[in-house]
Amino acid sequence: MSASSVIKTAFLGLQSDIVLALEAADGLAKFTSDEWERPEGGGGLSKVLTNGKHIAKGGVNFSAVEGALSAGAAKNLGVAPQSFMATGVSIVLHPQNPWVPIIHMNIRYFELADGTYWFGGGIDLTPHYILPEDAAWFHHQLKLHCDQFATRYYPDFKKWADDYFFIPHRNETRGVGGIFFDRLVATEDMDKSQLFDFVLGVGQLFSPIYLNLLDRRKDTPFGEQELQWQRLRRGRYVEFNLVWDRGTKFGLETNGRTESILMSLPPQADWVYDFQPEEGSKEADTLKQLKKEINWLQYKR
């Protein structure tokens, strides 16, 4: 079996494991399966859950596409036009309870006809209300995983996430960050199989991390004020994904499946003109923490 086939099989198995874990945690809704084919080559399997007990909308997507890079896509990637293969798993969950964070995870593998390849991915957290102790626990889990492979990974990839998940026109981060990496290739101290172990491990972190955070906050009381704020924060999430996210742009430029690409968008979102939270409120406190380079580990208990 080729390396790309091994990677695709592992990614497909990861999707299945995560879907089962999330269905059990939600306790009400089930994911619907939508298998699709890409006319230019390859396809995928989208798993979508809506109106769950704890998950308002969630998607766990697997794709394995191939074909010829368009001139625009090749230019954006900085490579010569040629055939490619790309496979990955992408997840976004929008919770019912505003005290439970939005979470995103993506792992991917990209290979060109000339033998060039790279891994990419990451996992990041977008709380509607930032709770430093939750952010600290989340970052600690990521650091533990990164440190098993290279001590530079966590600080490097944490900074990368801070820079990537940033909304320039709002001058705020999308959330509390996490880790983000792209174009990882083998080096003298890290071969391709070790890189794959690291990337797959990031995917395997998803379920234990999110189920812990869900269990912490799913029963926290909330009212209309919190729901209004949740819709406004979802609006920021939409702005980032549609204006700045490179994955969204790549998918659309390579004629990816629109429904699967836009699965990340929330079920409802609001935009209130020049909304200003009350000074000293929990909403204002969250806005003050949407900054790069916060050492979230300092809040670890």
CB distance 136 to 94 below 8 Å: no
**pLDDT score recorded for residue 10:** 97
Question: What is the enclosing helix (H) or strand (E) of 48?
Answer: strand 42-50
User: Average pLDDT of each block of 10 consecutive residues along the chain (301 residues)?
Assistant: 87 98 96 92 94 97 90 82 93 98 97 92 98 98 98 98 97 98 94 97 98 97 98 97 89 80 93 95 97 95 80
User: Could you give the CA distance from residue 62 to residue 65 in angstroms, rounded to a whole number?
Assistant: 10
**pLDDT score recorded for residue 76:** 80
169 is catalytic: no
pTM: 0.94
**pLDDT score recorded for residue 1:** 64
**pLDDT score recorded for residue 252:** 83
Tokens of 130: 């930032």
DSSP letter assigned to residue 69 = P
In the numeric block, the tokens 């079920």 are attached to 267
Side-chain-facing half-sphere of 49: CA atoms under 13 Å: 28
Position 268, amino acid = Q
Catalytic residue among 54, 94, 104, 145: 104
**pLDDT score recorded for residue 18:** 98
Output the DSSP codes for 257-282: -HHHHGGGS-S-----TT--PPTTSH
State the CB neighbour count (10 A cutoff) for residue 170.
13
